[in-house]
């Protein structure tokens, strides 16, 4: 199953307060970058991704400046991955 395509229209699972736009039309799969699982020209597996609205995705990827420390963004992204995995299990995709 293509998890990137499946992300379209889904609720954002990262949910950064004051940033999340709540627009499921902008949702994509936001890959969680982890040493050993990604590198130059290599994305992590799709199973290690979170459904993310465009604004949350930009924040966790560093394309958008926020008032939040990097560590908080990483935690919220990881929690989003867990919530996304739960949704994928419910859909029978994992």
Residues catalogued as catalytic? 31
Looking at the chain, the number of H-run helices and the number of E-run strands are 3, 2
Contact between 48 and 40 under an 8 Å Cβ cutoff? The reply is no
In sequence order, which ranges of the chain are alpha helices (DSSP H)? 3-6, 54-60, 70-91
Contact between 30 and 80 under an 8 Å Cβ cutoff? The reply is yes
């Amino acid at each position: 199953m293509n998890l990137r395509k499946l992300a379209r229209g889904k609720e954002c699972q990262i949910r950064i307060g004051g940033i999340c736009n709540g627009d499921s039309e902008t949702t994509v799969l936001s890959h969680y970058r982890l040493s050993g699982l990604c590198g130059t020209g290599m994305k992590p597996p799709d199973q290690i991704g979170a459904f993310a609205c465009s604004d949350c995705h930009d924040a966790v990827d560093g394309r958008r400046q926020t008032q939040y420390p990097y560590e908080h963004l990483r935690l919220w992204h990881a929690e989003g991955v867990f919530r996304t995995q739960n949704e994928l299990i419910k859909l029978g995709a994992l």
